[in-house]
Amino acid sequence: VYKRQVFHFEWEDGSANSADTIKSIQNKLVRLHWIDSPEDEYFEFHIVQDELTGDVELLIIDFCLDEERESTAMLWESQVEMLRSVIGA
């Protein structure tokens, strides 16, 4: 069941952003829209499980300008690494 929520993100550099949930599938996917971004842009966390091996993958989709691609990828990589350390993966 989809439940609209607003999430507040605080980054290591002290900046913060808010995002509104635009799609949610329990234990599978959450799609969010940065409140200050163009209406058609979103970012998404999608949990994918391989049917044969049972391996689980976190797929992150995010819109950014071409010149921001490397820094955006580095940002999400650092956030996923922090998540791994917190959950012991």
- Please, which residues have CB within 8 angstroms of residue 24's CB and are 6 or more apart in sequence? 2, 3, 30, 31
Please check whether residue 29 is in contact with residue 45, taking contact to mean a CB–CB distance below 8 angstroms.
yes
Token pair belonging to 1: 């069941």
Question: Is 23 in a helix, a strand, or coil?
Answer: strand
Within a 10 A sphere around the Cβ of 4, how many other Cβ atoms? 9
2-57, pLDDT tens digit by residue?
567 899 988 878 999 999 999 999 889 999 999 988 888 899 999 999 999 988 88
Place of tokens 């929520």: 5
47-77, pLDDT tens digit by residue?
999 999 988 888 888 887 788 888 888 888 8
Q: pTM for the full model? A: 0.71
Q: How far apart are CA 61 and CA 83, in angstroms?
A: 17
